[in-house]
Chain A
Amino acid sequence: MAGGRHPFYKRLLKEYKSLSTNSLSGITMVKNDENLTEFIFRIEVTNHTLYKKEDLFHLSIIITSEYPVDSPRVQFVIFDEIVIDDDDKDSKGSENKDTVVVPNGVPKIPIHPHVYSNGHICLNLLGEDWTPACSIESVLLSIQSMLNTNDKNERPPDDAAYVKRAPLNPKSTTFIYHDDTV
């Protein structure tokens, strides 16, 4: 994959660096590939009436080849966290094993009026309002705050219809932004 490095690899390195050094509260990087184009994050929502402590929300972020001109592909996924890094024997690996706590809980797609049950997220930042000045971090933060401020225990109004016909890639959906209140 040496030739497959992203044109904006340097920027991705920077984002990765800041994500892994200054950790955002409630957001954990669970997995990433070596080209830094695919990430899985765990988002924790604490002190919330709707989301319980044992709910695990995993967000998959895939960097397209046009990034940062084009928005990353973001959706909630059901992801099982299993520590398999036994071959990682250097000091860093062992250190990680002590610190990384795989929480017990049920992987779930969060219930939210803007999150479809297949994990697709209806968020303007991920579509037409994306600009290259946004970053992975800004996506994570806005999704976390989207969950944090939610008080409706419901799916989007057209959930069943959408999920039935939805393309695999949420980026190929043209979302109609139902309401700006939530």
Chain B
Amino acid sequence: MSKNPFDRFGVDVTDPTDWASTKLPRLSELDSLKRCYICKEFFTAPVLTVCHHTFCSQCIRQYLLTNSHCPLCKTELYESSLKRDMLLDEIVTCYKSLRPFLLNLLRENEILVKNEPDIEKSENGPSKSNKRPAPVDEDDVIEVLSQGESVPSGSSTPEAQPKKKTKPESQLPALPGKSDQVACPICNKMMSADILQTRHLDDCLSGKTTPPSSNGSHSRKKAGASHGIASFFKKESPVPSSSSSSPSTSNSAFSKAEISQPVGFKESYLKQVEKTNSESVKKLPKLDFQSLSTPKLKEKLAALNLKVQGSRSQLEMRYNQFYVLYNSNLDSSRPVSEKQLKSTLNKWEQSHSAFNTESSTLFSSRASISNRSITSKTFSVREWLQVYHQEFRELIRAARASAKKDKKSKAKNTIDVIEEAEYVEVSKKDDSRPQQEHGSTESKVPQLTPELDMELVDMDFADDIANSSLFGGT
């Protein structure tokens, strides 16, 4: 009965459980070890804590804005003690780039075993969707395939049949080899790794049997254009992987793999060491907001070319978020430009509720506001007034009626002492506001607390309510 958000957004969700349906389910352990406990994603710029736990730099820095202990073991922890883990960064990036292929490979075999005929479906992400019933599972792998050309089919090549029984592990050593003869994981033919990776794989997967010795120039071009499996192995100039740090959802696992260089993680690691040794970029300082006036804070933001609009708390949050983004970017071996950081910041502001007073969609608007606490910072007084406007009116009417009645009965009984005292007090309080302003009805019933009355007449009392003692929590 719950809606399925995966259909709607097509967000690429990778999960350790992706491995459960492959030939090597234990890979899920390896997969989950490379994930941050906070965001459940692969580590982005991992940092090590003093208690030897690892988190994404951004995640843990964000957490440490409001807390000062490790999320896993509660050891006392400060931001200054976080240490970059460059090796892990490279390992994860490398693994991320290999993962879709590996996943594909290990599932491919399974499909061959089951020998499912799915040629008619092969155009948009073939047999995976058939095999796994839950629509929820249509994640990155499907995207990978849908970008490639029509991929496997159980009935593809007769050579494929004997391969079925082979353990996938035995094929893995074939991947890194560059000069030796290796066996194609699909048809088991021996050929040089170069040929295998640049074109044979695509051909083999699409059912064509290309002799490994044939002239490659034509098929190479074709493989490139179609973004087949072979494009995983293509050397490309290193592009800073902006995708990893931004929460945007546009990139599939495939494109991530494409932009990161297939070889050179080792070189990148070694270069990082040199780079950090000669590092001159300073981290942003943490600001002590209490000793900072709003104009000063705006100055600081302006110095960083950040927006200076918004309330004080929004300014503080903006600075803190940028501070987290900026400093965690410095921990990354593939840092992004400041411009990108700012667009990330903008996206964050858009999605953050303090910048965005939209009410929730699940419950009706009325229920949603009554669900929120009146003392919470984000509580919208105006909204509250709108929702309960009618009710307030009724209450006032009732109060006036009962007040009138009260007055009459009291007058009859001639117990005016207390009432008079009240009246005096009230009018004292109301000195600054002449009675006429209240209109004719009000002047008849001075027993009502004048403040309340005023507010109800001209609906302009949002600030009064917010400041009154009733809402002391704000």
Contact = CB atoms under 8 A, between A and B. Distances in A.
Contacts, number: 129
B3 A32 contact: yes
A62 B286 CA distance: 31
B352 interface: yes
B135 to A, nearest CB: 6
Interface residues of B, number: 51
Interface residues of A, number: 48
Given A34-B361, A38-B363, A169-B372, A17 B13 contact: yes
Contacts of A158: none
A132 B59 contact: yes
A82 to B, nearest CB: 10
B250 interface: no
Interface in A4-25: 4-11, 13-18, 20-21
A17 B1 contact: no
Given A13-B5, A100-B1, A169-B373, A133 B362 contact: no
Interface in B353-367: 353-354, 356, 358, 360-363
B8 A132 contact: no
B473 A14 contact: no
Given A1-B358, A13-B6, A168 B62 contact: no
B83 to A, nearest CB: 19
B41 A34 contact: no
Contact of B247 (A9, A32, A34): A9
Please indicate which of the listed interface residues A3, A13, A21, A171 has the most CB atoms of chain B within 10 Å of its own CB: A13
A131 interface: yes
A31 B361 CA distance: 12
Interface stretch (B32-40, B197-205, B334-342, B418-426): B32-40
Given A33-B362, A69-B65, A131-B72, 11 more contacts: A4-B356, A4-B358, A10-B11, A11-B40, A18-B17, A65-B353, A132-B71, A133-B38, A133-B72, A167-B374, A172-B375
Interface of A: 1, 3-11, 13-18, 20-21, 29-38, 62, 64-66, 68-70, 83, 85, 92, 96, 100, 131-133, 167-169, 171-172
